[in-house]
Amino acid sequence: MDRKKSVVISGYYGFNNIGDEAVLSSIVTALRKHIPDVHIIVLSNAPSQTKAFYGVQAINRWQIKEIAKAIKASDLLISGGGSLLQDVTSNKVIPYYLGIVKIAQFYKKPVVFYSQGVGPVAKGLGKWLVKTVGNKVTQIFVRDEGSKALLETIGVKKAPITVTIDPVLGIKAKPELVDKLAPNLVAGKKVGIYIRPWKNDKELVDKLKEVSKYIVDRGYDLYLMPMYHKEDLSISEELASDLGEHVHVISQEMTIDEVVAYTSQFDFILGMRLHSLIMAHAVGVPMIGLSYDPKVASFLNEVNAPYCVDVDNLNVTRLKEYIDRLVDNFEEEKERIFKMNQKKEQKVELPAEYIKQLLG
């Protein structure tokens, strides 16, 4: 009997960041759909938690000897998804993830970049590493045209690059969980707000307080949703303070499925976290993007979503206009998202289909 095929997945997992956990959940689901008996090993900051959540084998992402051993015994390395190749948050990010890729290349294992969002890559070392290592990758899937263009500009021209979409666009709300969480929300109109700390926190909070009052005056209850609990809870509570009984914070740490279930019940959302927008789109909920990073505007452009404001120079008047326009054209926007999701459905699983063929 042939042994099970084994894949190792490298990414930003085990840090309780709902966006990245949603990426992992979507990848694992797609792999199991196309390769039912696949053995999955995830490199995680919290191996026991990752194992419990996804039913996979998990290895501490900092134990390089254990990682090398697992990759050597595997059939393939998946790097991604998410924004792994960028040097904005730290100079150590690109060397770490491409270091894992180099281990796989040393053992002559196929490497697939799984729907990654690439950039910004501003520094010389990062560009050199991306070019040197990237050109030896078996197949690169990126989630947007901008990522492909950046890789080509850096010099990645030998590895095939295919544009897909973020794997989280394939995520679904679980009906039983929606029913379970529904009593936590008001029965009337409601809006989700997903913000994160940023360099202009005070200005951001002050302006969003004004916008929040405006939405409440239109008859909505607001729910602040901390997706990366340790970072987002404080600023969410600050925004909700002094706004009255119609503004709520979901303060407990949530699983991916819980965030998706809550999101599916909102009339629309204001999203600063990229994956709040992706989740909303996946479950058919209209959105307004609060762009702090090019990846936010890039995603909204990819799905032809018309409402996006810049966080660094947040124009309150424009944001209110977008809210009015969205509310006035609510059904049309839902229909646009529905049609867009139908078009995107096949592209979500392209990487998993390719991996199935590659593994034979």
pLDDT in tens, 202-216: 999 999 999 999 999
pLDDT given for residue 2 in this prediction: 59
Other beta carbons within 10 angstroms of residue 25's beta carbon come to 22
Alpha carbon of 90 to those of 15, 94, 120, 124, 288: distances in Å? 16, 8, 11, 14, 28
> Global pTM?
0.85
| DSSP bridge partners of 8 | 41, 77
pLDDT tens-digit series, residues 13-31: 999 888 899 999 999 999 9
Of 337 and 90, more confident: 337
**pLDDT for the residue numbered 346:** 77
Least confident of 113-117, 167-171, 216-220: 167-171
Q: How far is CA 351 from CA 142, 222, 321, 345, in A?
A: 10, 37, 39, 13
- Please give the C-alpha separations between residue 193 and each of 6, 17, 160, 288, 301, in angstroms, as whole numbers: 39, 16, 38, 10, 20
Peptide bond before residue 120 is cis, with ω within 30 degrees of 0: yes
pLDDT, position 333: 95
Q: Which domains, and CATH codes, for the chain?
A: 6-164 (3.40.50.11930), 175-344 (3.40.50.2000)
pLDDT band at 89 (very low <50, low <70, confident <90, very high): confident
User: Which whole-number Å values give the CA distances from 102 to 96, 107, 119, in the listed order?
Assistant: 10, 9, 20
Q: Is 60 exceeded by the pLDDT of residue 1?
A: no
State the chain's mean pLDDT as an integer: 94
